[in-house]
Amino acid sequence: MEERIRDAVGEALAAAGAAGAAFTLERPTEAAHGDYATNAAMVAAKALGKNPRELAEELATKMKELLGDAVEKVEVAGPGFINITLAAGEVVASTAEAAAKGEDWGKGKAEAGKRVMIEYTQPNPFKEMHIGHVMGNTIGESVARLTQNEGATIVRANYQGDVGPHVAKALWGLQKAGITEPTTATEISEAYVAGNRAYEDDPEAKGEIDAINRAVYQALGDPLTLTEGGALMELWRKGRDVSLAAFEEVYKVLGTKFDYYFFESETAPIGLKVVRDGLARGVFEESEGAVVYKGEKRGLHTRVFITSQGTPTYEAKDMGLAFLKEERWPSDKSVVTTAQEQASYFAVILEALKELAPLLGGKTQHVPYGFMKLTTGKMSSREGNVITAASLIEDVVKRASEKNADPLIAEQVAVGAIKYMILRQAPGADIVFEPEKSLSLEGDSGPYLQYALVRAVKILSYESEEAGGKEEPQEPYAIERLILHYPEVAARAAKLLVPNILTSYLTELAGAWNSFYASEQVLGSPEEEYKMRVARAFANTMANGLALLGIPAPERM
C-alpha cells in the first residue's frame, strides 16, 4: 500500500511538472492526520514558483483520482501537507493479511539474494564477558535478523582474541597462582587482573609477560612447537576452552547461534603475511622498527600493524580476518559491529584494506554503537570494575522470578528486559547503566511487549469451531491502522540498521493493544469474529517484531 501511495505522489508530481522531486511519505504522529502524510507539495512548491497549499490541492486531486476506492480522503492541511486516509475496506484487508500471513507477515525483499556476513559480540577469551558484550551481541543479533527479514542470506560471525598481551597476562597470573587446570571463567579473569597489575607495577613481571606473549605467538606460528608447546601451551588450551564454554552459556541464554568463529590465533599468521606483502608493495612503511600504515595520506592517522618485536597488532590481525572471512564464506557485504571507541581505528584499517585488496575493502562496512558505561564512569576489566554478563543476567532473572515461578519464563522476561533496554535507544548513543534503575520490568520495557503478546495469545487459544458474533464495528479499530505500518517499519529499521525504530513502534503497538484490551471484550462479543482477527493480526505483528529484535516471547506471564 505504501508503495502505491508513493507511486501516486510521484505521478501527481510529474503531472504538475516536478517529476523526481524528493519527498517523504510518513506515518503522521497524530491519528487525526490520517494514515500517511507527504510533504511533496512543500518540497516542490519553490521550484515551480507556486503557493504550497495551492500545489497541494492540485496534487491531492490527482492522487484521489489515481488511488480511487483505496482512500477515504486525501486532504491538504497545515502549511501544505497532504494527508491520506485509507478507506475502511483497505484497513480491514490489511488486518486480514496480517492475520493470515503468520510468520511471513512483514517480510521484505530489499536485500533479496544478497549474502551478508555480520560480525558481532567479540569477547576475548581469558577475560570475562561483560555488559558491553551483551550490548554488542543484542544489537548485532537484531541487525542480523532485520537483514535476514529483508531476504538476505546471512551468517553470524564472532571474532575472539585468544592471543595477545591480555592472554599473556592471564597465563602469567595463572602460573603465579599455581593453577594448571583452570575450571571457571572467574578464576581466569582474576588471573588476568593480577597479571595486568603486575605488568604495570613490576618491571620483572613485565618482561616475563612479554616473553609469554612472544612464546604463544611463536608456538602458534609454528605447528611443530604447537604440538610440543609444553606446559605453557597446555595451559593456554585449557584456559581458552574454559572461557569459550562460558561464552557459549551466555549466547544460549541470549539466543544467538554463531555460524563462524574466528580467532586471533588464526588471523595473526595470515595478517602477518598480507601486511608483509603490503609492505613490499608500498602500502605499509617501516618506522622505528615497526610496520605502520600512514593514514595521513587519507586524512587519518598512523597506526602500527606489526610491532618492533615482530608481533602482529590487532590491525594486522584484522587484515588477516578480512581475507579469512572471504575464504570461509564469500559474501556480498561484510558488516562489522563494534563499540564507537573503535570508529577512528576502523577508518584507518579500512583504508589500508582498500589499498591492499580493493574488493574486500569496498564491501566491508563498520557499524559502530555506543558503549555501556556505569554511573561511576567507563568499565575497565583491567581495573576489575566490570559487571559481567553472567551476573547481570542472574540479577535480572532473580527479579523476574518474583512474579514467575517457572525459571524458563523468568529467564525469558529477564532477557527481554535487558535487550529492550539496549534496543530502545539509537544505537550510536552510550547507555548509562544503573542496575535496578535501568532495567524496568514495567512501563516502557521488554516485559510490557511480552505481556501484551501473552494476553493476545491467551484470547486466541479460546478460538473454537463454532464461530462467534459476526457483527462488524462501524470503523476499523485504531490498532488496525497501526498494524498496517509494520512492514514499512521493519524495512526502514533494516535499511538504516537501527533496531530502535522498530522497538518504538512495537511499544506504541503494545499500548494500542492494551487500550483495546481494556475497552473491548473479545470473547462472546457481537463482533467476536472480527475482533479475533484483529487479535491474530496483533499477535503476528508483535511476535514477528519481537523475533526481529531477538526478544523471546514467553508462553505465559
CB of 264 to RNA, least distance (A): 6
CB of 45 to RNA, least distance (A): 7
Q: Provide the residue type at 339 as one letter.
A: A
The binder of RNA chosen from 14, 31, 359, 429 (CB under 7 A): 429
SS3 of 428-485: the string is CCCEEECCCCCCCCCCCCHHHHHHHHHHHHHHHCCCCCCCCCCCCCCCCCHHHHHHCC
Joined grid coordinates for residue 209 = 609477560
DSSP tag of 296: G
- Is residue 3 a contact point for RNA (CB under 7 A)? no
- Burial class of residue 104 in the structure, from the number of CB atoms within 10 Å of its CB (0-12 exposed, 13-18 middle, 19+ buried): exposed
Residue 200, classed as helix, strand or coil, is helix
The binder of RNA chosen from 19, 51, 79, 203 (CB under 7 A): 79
Nearer to RNA, 228 or 378 (CB): 378
CB of 331 to RNA, least distance (A): 23
- Is residue 550 a contact point for RNA (CB under 7 A)? no
H or E element, residue 262: strand 260-263
- Positions in 109-148 near RNA (CB under 7 A): 124
244/238 Cα distance (integer angstroms): 10
- Is residue 21 a contact point for RNA (CB under 7 A)? no
- Is residue 83 a contact point for RNA (CB under 7 A)? yes
The binder of RNA chosen from 7, 14, 24, 237 (CB under 7 A): 24
Per the listing, cell 478460538 goes with 463
- Single out the segment in contact with RNA by CB under 7 A; choices: 20-28, 99-107, 245-253, 323-331: 20-28
Joined grid coordinates for residue 304 = 602500527
- Positions in 484-503 near RNA (CB under 7 A): 498, 500-501
Nearer to RNA, 227 or 461 (CB): 461
- Is residue 447 a contact point for RNA (CB under 7 A)? yes
246/255 Cα distance (integer angstroms): 15
The binder of RNA chosen from 114, 328, 438, 526 (CB under 7 A): 438
- Is residue 71 a contact point for RNA (CB under 7 A)? no
Q: How far is CA 301 from the centre of its chain?
A: 29
- Is residue 275 a contact point for RNA (CB under 7 A)? no
- Is residue 231 a contact point for RNA (CB under 7 A)? no
- Is residue 345 a contact point for RNA (CB under 7 A)? yes
- Is residue 165 a contact point for RNA (CB under 7 A)? yes
- Is residue 211 a contact point for RNA (CB under 7 A)? no
321/368 Cα distance (integer angstroms): 18
The binder of RNA chosen from 12, 13, 18, 39 (CB under 7 A): 39
For RNA, how many residues bind (rule: CB under 7 A)? 98
Closest CA to 468 of 520, 522, 521, 529: 529
The binder of RNA chosen from 51, 184, 385, 521 (CB under 7 A): 521
The binder of RNA chosen from 6, 354, 458, 495 (CB under 7 A): 458
- Is residue 72 a contact point for RNA (CB under 7 A)? no
- Single out the segment in contact with RNA by CB under 7 A; choices: 74-82, 90-98, 233-241, 242-250: 74-82
Rounded to 5 degrees, what are φ and ψ at 158?
-130, 140
The number of beta carbons lying within 10 Å of the beta carbon of residue 462 is 12
- Is residue 341 a contact point for RNA (CB under 7 A)? yes
The binder of RNA chosen from 228, 309, 358, 407 (CB under 7 A): 309
CB of 511 to RNA, least distance (A): 5
- Is residue 522 a contact point for RNA (CB under 7 A)? yes
CB of 333 to RNA, least distance (A): 23
Joined grid coordinates for residue 224 = 611443530
368/460 Cα distance (integer angstroms): 41
The binder of RNA chosen from 342, 366, 472, 526 (CB under 7 A): 342
46: left (phi over 0), alpha (psi -120 to 50) or beta: alpha
- Single out the segment in contact with RNA by CB under 7 A; choices: 234-242, 356-364, 396-404, 463-471: 396-404
- Is residue 218 a contact point for RNA (CB under 7 A)? no
**Segment 437-441 long-range contacts (CB within 8 Å, at least 24 positions apart):** 439/396, 439/399, 441/399, 441/400, 441/403, 441/413, 441/417
- Single out the segment in contact with RNA by CB under 7 A; choices: 135-143, 241-249, 284-292, 355-363: 284-292
- Is residue 46 a contact point for RNA (CB under 7 A)? yes
- Is residue 323 a contact point for RNA (CB under 7 A)? no
42/45 Cα distance (integer angstroms): 5
Closest CA to 313 of 205, 166, 199: 166
- C-alpha angle 22/26/27, rounded to 5°? 170
CB of 178 to RNA, least distance (A): 25
- Is residue 70 a contact point for RNA (CB under 7 A)? no
545/507 Cα distance (integer angstroms): 10
> Which residues, in sequence order, are CB contacts of 181 under 8 Å at separation 6+?
238
- Is residue 271 a contact point for RNA (CB under 7 A)? no
End-to-end CA distance of the chain: 36
253/406 Cα distance (integer angstroms): 15
The binder of RNA chosen from 27, 130, 156, 536 (CB under 7 A): 27
160/137 Cα distance (integer angstroms): 13
Nearer to RNA, 70 or 523 (CB): 523
- Single out the segment in contact with RNA by CB under 7 A; choices: 102-110, 148-156, 289-297, 390-398: 289-297
The binder of RNA chosen from 189, 331, 404, 544 (CB under 7 A): 404
DSSP tag of 114: -
CB 401 within 8 Å of CB 371 = no
392/390 Cα distance (integer angstroms): 5
The binder of RNA chosen from 139, 304, 324, 491 (CB under 7 A): 304
CB of 97 to RNA, least distance (A): 21
- Is residue 51 a contact point for RNA (CB under 7 A)? no
- Is residue 241 a contact point for RNA (CB under 7 A)? no
CA dist list (Å): 166 to 10, 230, 272, 505: 58, 20, 19, 42
Detail the DSSP E strand segments found in 124-232. Answer: 153-160
Nearer to RNA, 88 or 523 (CB): 523
